[in-house]
Amino acid sequence: MKSDNLPLKILSVGRMVEKKGFDSLLEALRRLREQGIAFEAEIVGNGPLQSELERQADEAGLQDCVRFAGALPSERVLERVRACDVFALCCREAANGDMDGIPVVLMEAMACGKPVVSSRISGIPELVDGQCGFLADPEDAATVAAYFSRLTDDRELGRRMGRAGQDKIRKQYLRSRQIDDLLRLIVGMQEDC
């Protein structure tokens, strides 16, 4: 079992595009650093905003606690998810109207038993309900930082949220469960005819 006084390990994975909100995540991490809270963050992925985000991290003085890993094969991403304490994805609506529905990567993190911190936008509140993670308004870096702080102070809360998320994924999103639900629906429709 990990020692609760180690730095909080924060992971985010996604294409470095506007709708993923990595700039908001970096602002939350800057605030966390300003509060003197120890953390290690890793951002996995690449994309058109990568150099701009790396520059933002450098200007915020986050070089020693934020690592940009680039794109990785899925098995290595899974290793990172299993090793983190919290998974974050600060989604938002892009200027062109593009936004995520329910990001699969959030489901994958929850399936691994990780609490998630994400945004109250689109379909994400259907997945993250307060029992398995925290939601902030898009671009609300202060609230995201406060959630990280809370998870740093109360590691057991993070473990409980992780277990709740894992249970939710097992009960609602596993393919076998969805197939059973679909078969029940089809049988019910046949009985009504």
Q: What span, in angstroms and rounded, lies between the C-alpha atoms of 186 and 193?
A: 11
DSSP state of 7: P
For residue 3, the model assigns a pLDDT of 47
Please report the domains of the chain, with CATH numbers, ordered by start residue. Answer: 8-192 (3.40.50.2000)
Q: Are 89 and 115 in contact, with CB atoms under 8 Å apart?
A: no
In this prediction, residues 6-17 reach a mean pLDDT of 98
Residue 104 above 80 pLDDT?
yes
In this prediction, residues 171-184 reach a mean pLDDT of 67
Segment (H or E) for 120: none
Residue 23 above 70 pLDDT?
yes
pLDDT, tens digit (0-9, with 9 covering 90-100), for 83-97: 999 999 999 999 999
For residue 191, the model assigns a pLDDT of 72
Segment (H or E) for 30: helix 22-34
Q: Are 127 and 102 in contact, with CB atoms under 8 Å apart?
A: yes
For residue 87, the model assigns a pLDDT of 99
Q: Are 165 and 110 in contact, with CB atoms under 8 Å apart?
A: yes
Residue 189 above 80 pLDDT?
no
Print the SS3 string covering 44-62: ECCCCCHHHHHHHHHHCCC
Q: Which residues of 2-19 are buried (b: 16+ CB within 10 A; e: fewer)?
A: eeeeeebbbbbbbebebb
Q: Are 46 and 22 in contact, with CB atoms under 8 Å apart?
A: no
Tokens of 159: 């473990």
Q: What confidence category does residue 8 fall into, taking pLDDT thresholds of 50, 70 and 90?
A: very high
In this prediction, residues 182-187 reach a mean pLDDT of 66
**14 vs 178 pLDDT, higher one:** 14
**14 vs 175 pLDDT, higher one:** 14
User: pTM for the whole thing?
Assistant: 0.89
Residue 175 above 60 pLDDT?
yes
In this prediction, residues 28-32 reach a mean pLDDT of 99
In this prediction, residues 66-74 reach a mean pLDDT of 98
